[in-house]
């Protein structure tokens, strides 16, 4: 298994190109199931999760074609992929494919809406909590679906098609909002989703569905109204920039010092995070090309955060922020409110000399003056990148194993960081 070896101590200086957002690309790809006509997605990141989802979509009968490189296009530029679901050949999403990635469960919405049936394995994904699917089931049942769970599969039927309904999510869920919104585009009549997720990726999906002929208003607020249409048509859509990747590299620069332009980043997608970093003593400057992040000399201040659904501080940046706070002056606290088991990076950061104590969903981080390199193990996607960030600021060598977690969500991580002066390499074994 591959390892990543980081030799810490270098400041980061240069430019990092921000990729298309994984968490937008995945639901957008799934939306291709809704139409017989092709959906062309631009700026799709080259990630293991994207490739896993392509395999799942292929199993349902979706053809895909990746555009060749155009003149002047760089390796770092996202891919353009044409998805064509002219005919759905199978409405079953089997365990072997779905178990790898939770988002693959989301095919249940479009399959049910277009084919009036779906049989989808209960999902897998990062082991960051129990992650049930009750909200998906309840919202689809509200639209008239008949759902049973049997032998590890969710079996959904809607003979005669889904019907518009009013449904209030008891808890904010990004995935359940994506699925209910996609399903409602082809339901008869009006659907009103209350307490919907407001994440930018939900807005991106709504924008794409609208270009496909869906009638959606309110995406980005907690009430989304969808007026069902008979058919959706093809469209072309550009995946929005990855706010989690943006925040991750901003924290890496904050950690090591230096100055980096995050090219293509959109500050409006992560304002809360940028405000927190500014309070911590990091200089953030929105510029035409993206966001310039720098820290020169000044010490980091300890800042308390609580993770929350958007527009709050994202749980997907909690581990990276914890890594940053391990070297701040003073004591900071982090409360994780989204997932119940998302502190697996704590014991790995401790191997590098971090001083962190845990009490349920709360972590207390006492800043130390120095981290020292050590062998560590990646436990989930965002946790693993927090170890890389910490390694960049540690003295000596940090070896991160189980890096397949990183490959699920960070495109060309080593190239992006080494392009800014980091000493980082992948060792294949
Ligand atoms: C999305 O996961 C993201 N994944 C996650 O990113 C992210 O951490 C999460 O949203 C929160 O922002 C993708 O977009 C592909 P949720 P999702 O449903 O949709 C509970 C990463 O690292 N819940 O909003 O699965 C759930 O257990 C990944 O890129 C139910 O109780 O998250 C959690 O506590 C990890 N019942 C809370 O809601 C349900 O039916 C929020 O989860 C569904 C969810």
Q: For residue 388, how many other CB atoms are within 10 A of its CB? A: 26
Intervals of the chain under pLDDT 50? 128
Neighbouring residues of 362: CB distance < 8 A, sequence distance ≥ 6: 333, 334, 335, 336
Q: Which residue intervals of the chain bear CATH 3.65.10.10?
A: 3-19+241-427, 22-238
Neighbouring residues of 252: CB distance < 8 A, sequence distance ≥ 6: 12, 320, 388, 389, 392, 417
CB-side neighbour CA atoms (13 Å) of 220: 10
Q: Is the separation of the CB atoms in 190 and 227 below 8 Å?
A: yes
Tell me, using a 6 A CB cutoff, whether residue 154 lines ligand 1.
no
Q: Is the separation of the CB atoms in 24 and 51 below 8 Å?
A: no
Cα(381)–Cα(383) distance, rounded to whole angstroms? 6
Tell me, using a 6 A CB cutoff, whether residue 303 lines ligand 1.
no
Cα(241)–Cα(162) distance, rounded to whole angstroms? 33
Catalytic annotation, pick one of 126, 328, 392, 422:
126
Q: Is the separation of the CB atoms in 268 and 203 below 8 Å?
A: no
Architecture of domain 3-19+241-427: Alpha-beta prism (3.65)
Helix (H) or strand (E) holding 103: none
The DSSP secondary structure of 305-349, one letter per residue, reads: EEB-STTSB-GGGHHHHHHHHTTSBSEEEEE--S-TT--THHHHH
Q: What is the position in ligand 1's atom list of the atom closest to the CA of 244?
A: 29
Q: What is the position in ligand 1's atom list of the atom closest to the CA of 409?
A: 29
Q: Is the separation of the CB atoms in 196 and 222 below 8 Å?
A: yes
**Joined tokens for residue 11:** 């400041």
Task: Measure 201 CA to ligand 1 centroid, in angstroms.
Answer: 12
pLDDT at 328: 97
CB-side neighbour CA atoms (13 Å) of 267: 16
Q: Is 126 a catalytic residue?
A: yes
3-state secondary structure of 131: coil
Neighbouring residues of 268: CB distance < 8 A, sequence distance ≥ 6: none
Q: Whose CA is nearest to atom 16 of ligand 1?
A: 173
Q: Is the separation of the CB atoms in 125 and 102 below 8 Å?
A: yes
pLDDT at 124: 65
3-state secondary structure of 71: coil
Q: What is the position in ligand 1's atom list of the atom closest to the CA of 26?
A: 15
Please, what sign has the CA dihedral across residues 123, 125, 130, 133? negative
3-state DSSP percent of the chain in helix, strand and coil, to 5:
35, 30, 40
Tell me, using a 6 A CB cutoff, whether residue 380 lines ligand 1.
no
Q: For residue 148, what are the β-bridge partners? A: 155
Please, what sign has the CA dihedral across residues 333, 338, 341, 342? negative
- Encode pLDDT of 346-388 as tens digits: 999 999 999 999 999 999 999 999 999 999 998 889 999 999 9
Q: Reply yes or no: is the peptide bond before residue 10 cis, omega within 30 of 0.
A: no
Task: Measure 79 CA to ligand 1 centroid, in angstroms.
Answer: 26
Tell me, using a 6 A CB cutoff, whether residue 17 lines ligand 1.
no
Tell me, using a 6 A CB cutoff, whether residue 104 lines ligand 1.
no
Displacement of CA 114 from its chain's centroid (Å)? 26
CB-side neighbour CA atoms (13 Å) of 112: 33
Tell me, using a 6 A CB cutoff, whether residue 295 lines ligand 1.
no
* CATH fold of 22-238: UDP-n-acetylglucosamine1-carboxyvinyl-transferase; Chain (3.65.10)
Q: Whose CA is nearest to atom 7 of ligand 1?
A: 316
Residue 70 CB-density burial (10 A; 0-12 exposed, 13-18 middle, 19+ buried): exposed
Tell me, using a 6 A CB cutoff, whether residue 243 lines ligand 1.
no
Q: Whose CA is nearest to atom 19 of ligand 1?
A: 175
Q: What is the position in ligand 1's atom list of the atom closest to the CA of 23?
A: 14
| DSSP code for 380 | S
Tell me, using a 6 A CB cutoff, whether residue 103 lines ligand 1.
yes
Q: Whose CA is nearest to atom 14 of ligand 1?
A: 23
Task: Measure 184 CA to ligand 1 centroid, in angstroms.
Answer: 20
Q: Is the separation of the CB atoms in 294 and 253 below 8 Å?
A: yes
Task: Measure 173 CA to ligand 1 centroid, in angstroms.
Answer: 6
Region at 408 (left for phi over 0; alpha for psi -120 to 50; beta for the rest)? alpha
Helix (H) or strand (E) holding 170: none
Task: Measure 9 CA to ligand 1 centroid, in angstroms.
Answer: 35
Q: Is the separation of the CB atoms in 49 and 77 below 8 Å?
A: no
């Amino acid at each position: 298994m591959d390892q990543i070896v980081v030799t810490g101590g270098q400041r980061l200086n240069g430019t990092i190109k921000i990729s298309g957002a994984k968490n937008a690309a995945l639901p957008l790809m799934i939306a291709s199931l809704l139409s017989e006509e092709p959906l062309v997605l631009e700026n799709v990141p080259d990630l293991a999760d994207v490739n896993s989802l392509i395999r799942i979509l292929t199993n349902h009968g979706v053809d895909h074609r990746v555009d060749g490189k155009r003149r002047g296009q760089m390796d770092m530029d996202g891919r353009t992929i044409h998805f064509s679901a002219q005919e759905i050949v199978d409405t079953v999403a089997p365990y072997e494919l779905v178990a790898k990635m939770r988002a693959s469960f989301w095919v249940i919405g479009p399959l049910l809406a277009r084919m009036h049936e779906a049989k989808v394995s209960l999902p897998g994904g990062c082991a960051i909590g129990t992650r049930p699917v009750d909200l998906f089931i309840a919202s689809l049942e509200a639209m008239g679906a008949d759902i049973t769970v049997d032998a590890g599969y969710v079996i959904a039927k809607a003979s005669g098609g889904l019907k518009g309904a009013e449904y209030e999510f008891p808890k904010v869920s990004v995935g359940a909002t994506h699925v209910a919104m996609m399903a409602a585009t082809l339901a008869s009549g009006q659907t009103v989703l209350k307490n919907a997720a407001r994440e930018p990726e939900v807005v991106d999906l709504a924008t794409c569905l609208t270009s496909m002929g869906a009638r959606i208003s309110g995406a980005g607020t907690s009430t989304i109204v969808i007026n069902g249409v008979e058919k959706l048509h093809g469209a072309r859509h550009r995946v929005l920039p990855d706010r989690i990747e943006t925040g991750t590299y901003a924290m890496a620069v904050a950690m090591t010092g230096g100055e980096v332009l995050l090219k293509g980043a959109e500050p409006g997608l992560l304002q809360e995070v940028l405000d927190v970093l500014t309070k911590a003593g990091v200089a953030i400057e929105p510029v035409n090309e993206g966001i310039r992040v720098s820290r020169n000399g000044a010490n980091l201040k300890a800042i308390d955060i609580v993770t929350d659904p958007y527009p709050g501080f994202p749980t997907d940046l909690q581990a990276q922020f914890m890594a940053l706070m391990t070297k701040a002056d003073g004591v900071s606290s982090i409360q994780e409110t989204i997932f119940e088991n998302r502190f697996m990076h704590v014991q790995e950061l401790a191997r590098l000399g971090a001083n962190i104590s845990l009490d349920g969903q709360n972590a207390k981080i006492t800043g130390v003056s120095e981290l020292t390199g050590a062998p560590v193990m990646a436990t989930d996607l965002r946790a693993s990148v927090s170890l890389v960030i910490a390694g960049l600021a540690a003295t000596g060598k940090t070896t991160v194993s189980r890096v397949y977690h990183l490959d699920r969500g960070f495109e060309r991580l080593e190239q992006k960081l080494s392009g800014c002066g980091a000493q980082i390499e992948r060792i294949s074994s």
